[in-house]
Amino acid sequence: RNSQLPISDHVMPLDRYRNTALVDGIDVRALPLAGDCPAPASEGKQQQQQQQQHWFQRRLVQDTVGSGYVEFGDTKVLCSVHGPMEPKRSVLTDAGAEQSRAQLQVYYKLAPFASHQAGRVSYLPDETERRAASFLQDTLAPSLRLDRLPKSRIELHCLVLEDAGCCLATAVNCACLALVDAGLEMYDLVTAATVCRPVGATDWQLEVGDGSNSGGSSSVTLAYMRSLRQVAGMLVEAAEPLQPREVSAACRICEDPCKMTHSSLRQFLLDCLPADDRTAKIA
């Protein structure tokens, strides 16, 4: 009898645990302007040419091993680290490999009010967030000394409070800060930057955190370990295939901001140390 029940082809994931609106509405930011006039050219902020600075803070979350908070322009990201805890058992992984190194699991979520675009972000994670979590995991895992924590699991939770551009790179910087605050050994600090190419443009531009040039047709996010001079991760998002030389050009543009962020983060961590320990050299 169950086989005779109709199966809908368009099953939307329902959120039964939260309050939902009685009637669907249209975000006020998505409403057109009265009088059929086009949106003014200055509706978005003008592109800022000056270099934006990162603002770091640590130990914001009480009940965690380590936490970090980073602001880059208007983009705000909070990360916290839990663990080491008992590892998850999986039949797909080799039992020996799973016990010799810690597992790193990354969760990435945007707050419902984080987006500067019209519309709320759903509480249920979507494809973009899962891809960002996968990128963070692949980028940060090589920089950690996971072999120092066998038979354990480390969880990294990333929450974006405001996404005004360069969100993924800011999340990488924040995650690195949280991991250092948690006292986990790392080969090097991982810092990231994003370049984007707006529709119709030929040159790459450094993405800034004020919403002026985010949402282009193509973007390249590069995560870099300055001391080791190695690329930890790279994410290319493009509507059309890119030539290898275009990607190389984007990576070269990202390198300098990554180095500057590495210096800023390193100086912030040194300033957090007690005065007696500041004379110790950090590789």
Separation of alpha carbons 69 and 82, rounded Å: 15
Indicate whether 58 belongs to the interface with another protein (CB under 8 A): no
Span interacting with another protein, options 55-63, 146-154, 196-204, 230-238, rule CB under 8 A: 55-63
The reply on whether position 28 binds another protein by CB under 8 A is yes
Q: If binding is defined by CB under 8 A, does position 244 make contact with another protein?
A: no
17 forms part of the interface with another protein (CB under 8 A): yes
Amino acid at 278: R
- 195/214 Cα distance (integer angstroms): 9
102 binds another protein (CB under 8 A): no
Residue 94 as a binder of another protein (CB under 8 A): the answer is no
Determine contact, residues 175/156, Cβ cutoff 8 Å: yes
Contact pick of 132, 136, 140, 158 for another protein (by CB under 8 A): 158
Which CB, 36 or 94, lies closer to another protein? 36
Subset of 200-219 contacting another protein (CB under 8 A): 211
**List of residues 6+ apart from 67 with CB closer than 8 A:** 58, 59, 60, 61, 78, 79, 80, 81, 178, 181
Does residue 164 belong to the site contacting another protein (CB under 8 A)? yes
**Host H or E run for residue 259:** helix 244-272
Instruction: Kindly report the three-state secondary structure assignment for every residue of 72-131.
Output: ECCEEEEEEEEEEECCCCCCCCCHHHHHHCCEEEEEEEECCCCECCCCCCCCCCCHHHHH
Q: Judged by CB under 8 A, does residue 275 bind another protein?
A: no
Binding status of residue 161 toward another protein by CB under 8 A: yes
Total residues in contact with another protein, by rule CB under 8 A: 52
Interface ranges with another protein (CB under 8 A): 17-35, 37, 40, 43, 60-64, 74, 76, 78-80, 82, 107, 109, 111-116, 120, 123, 155, 157-159, 161-164, 211
